[in-house]
Chain A
């Protein structure tokens, strides 16, 4: 049944979780990024905007924050407040090494 390998298709690619950092200004605009260029800009922008919004909303309930850490099962996002904007660090969790199939 080795012929089944023929059906493994190279077409669509899965998006790997990124590791790297970027900075956003107070409007949520991305200024500098060290993330892989293959990682979609719209997702980077969305992360930045959500972080800026989270800092603002926390301040509005009298809980001003200078750093936020969001832990997902596969990824960690750390954001530090930076004069109204933020520097955001992304790191994928777990073993990220590509493994060859036995």
Chain B
């Protein structure tokens, strides 16, 4: 028998903990189940031992589930997480997904729901880390689609990759439609899954959406995996372009006054164009990232996406792509909408 994974259950209700512990003993992989009745206790256990999965209640006194998940996302990015709640509120669902949870689940109340819940947990426990498409919250898009389909859910996934946006509609556990730029249906689905990085959010379902995809989700995912394998074999594994060769290219974009790209912890001066004192600007922009990431954690507002500023001399935008942080200066005459669009263009160029 292989190694048994460890699962940590967090809920302030000890009766519920006992009940879920019993439910989880039905999992075929027979994981070791541990329990914690408070956020701080759970954090201490996660520090002390290596867990595979955290199942976290949202409504808890003092340190609620969103706070726990927010910390876990930073400190234990490899940990799979499930938010379990009785709060039927779309805001908490989208916020939990924004915090990078693998699964958001209303507390199962029927035998059928429990069965589906356990199937999803088993799937999460068994999945190995993949090197392919991983979104900013360290969650695979394929994982999400599979989990939504296994759990017979309905939702709309909005995926962004640099300046590109795509949508995948799931209804009762089937992928029914997709859209990416001019593409719709299966081609759009394949295009979206070929994106190597990005972010996504889960939107409310649109049951009235006409169905254009008739294949099963398994068939679709298999086809996509094959197409990606063929592409990799043909082109070799792409690597991120070196910062030094890309920054001058970015500084040619219309309206831009300066470009600064840096990786936290990187030795040597930041790569920059159009700045007299890039070190000082790098220090300031890193400070801004830290300041507002910290604020976002305390507000439970999810990851910081971008920071924009309008000034009498120039406008600025701060954003990230992977580990790289960008600080971009724009002409004062540009509106914030234009700055936003051009920033997306920069990220697309970078990603390509």
| Residue ranges of A at the interface with B (Cβ–Cβ < 8 Å) | 1-2, 4-5, 7-9, 11-17, 43, 46-47, 50, 53-54, 57-58, 60-61, 63-75, 92-101
Contacts and interface: CB of A to CB of B under 8 A. Distances in A.
A9 B13 contact: yes
A73 B320 CA distance: 13
Contacts of A69: 307-309, 336
B134 interface: no
Contacts, number: 158
Contacts of A96: 90-91
A58 B59 contact: no
Contact of B302 (A12, A73, A98, A101): A73
B167 to A, nearest CB: 14
B114 interface: yes
A9 B59 contact: yes
A51 B223 CA distance: 48
Interface in B293-328: 295-296, 298-314, 316
A75 B287 contact: no
B302 A99 contact: no
Nearest to B296: A72
A64 B90 CA distance: 38
Interface in B272-288: 280-281, 284, 287-288
A57 to B, nearest CB: 6
Contact of A98 (B89, B98, B111, B280): B89
B40 to A, nearest CB: 15
Interface of B: 12-13, 15-16, 19, 58-61, 64-66, 86-92, 94-95, 98, 106-111, 114, 199, 201, 203-204, 280-281, 284, 287-288, 291-292, 295-296, 298-314, 316, 336
6 contacts: A58-B309, A61-B280, A69-B308, A70-B292, A71-B308, A99-B89
B187 to A, nearest CB: 28
A2 B113 CA distance: 10
A63 B84 CA distance: 45
A9 B299 contact: no
B91 A101 contact: no
Given A46-B295, A70-B304, A100-B88, A63 B107 contact: no
B88 A17 contact: no
Given A17-B301, A72-B303, A73-B201, A97 B90 contact: yes
Contacts of A95: 90-91, 94, 203-204
Given A7-B16, A12-B12, A57-B284, A43 B109 contact: no
Contact of A47 (B114, B201, B299): B299
8 A-B pairs closest in CB distance? A73-B302, A8-B86, A73-B98, A72-B301, A75-B301, A65-B309, A67-B310, A101-B88
Residue of B58, B109, B203 with most partner-chain A CB within 10 A: B109
Contacts of A92: 91
Contacts of A67: 309-310, 336
A83 to B, nearest CB: 15
A74 B311 contact: no
A12 B86 CA distance: 12
A71 B304 contact: yes
B18 to A, nearest CB: 10
